Amino acid sequence: MDEKQKKEYQQYVSRVTPTHNLLLQMGKAFVTGGAICVIGQGILNACAALGLDREASGSWSAVLLILFSVILTGFNLYPSIVKWGGAGALVPITGFANSVAAPAIEFKKEGQVFGVGCKIFTIAGPVILFGIVTSWALGVIYWLGKTAGIF
């Protein structure tokens, strides 16, 4: 390539490469995650007003947030929320519910066993696996520290 082609290529790359504003992305994630938390807190408060104890209110809050996320995923609205809010929508329990529901919906046409059954944990499976392995490893480290008198 001569210098002119290299320069044209560099101009093309800078034109098509998306630019990201980190502060804006962090702000959107904060707003999205905060909105999910406000909804969860609203559910907790409503349950408490109905006379449920703290543990039951927390359970209802988690169940309803998961239900809302699955419904939004079913209507193909949650991906838009994720696109706008990034990690603010992916990190809470609603993001995990979306990661389980989306493949189930996508592969439903392949049948209950080979579609939904085989594909439902394609996204969430690694998260579950590494969560279990990490918690096991940290448990061993804690146990060794307890045994050695460090903790």
pLDDT (tens digit, 9 = 90+) per residue, 118-138?
676 777 778 788 889 999 999
For the whole model, what pTM was predicted?
Answer: 0.69
Task: Measure the CA dihedral 71/75/78/81, to 10°.
Answer: -130
Q: How far apart are CA 58 and CA 78, in angstroms?
A: 23
pLDDT tens for each residue of 61-80: 999 999 999 999 989 999 99
Residue 50 has pLDDT above 70, yes or no: yes
Structure-block tokens of residue 74: 């079913």
Largest pairwise CA distance in the chain: 76
The answer to whether the beta carbons of residues 43 and 65 sit under 8 Å apart is: yes
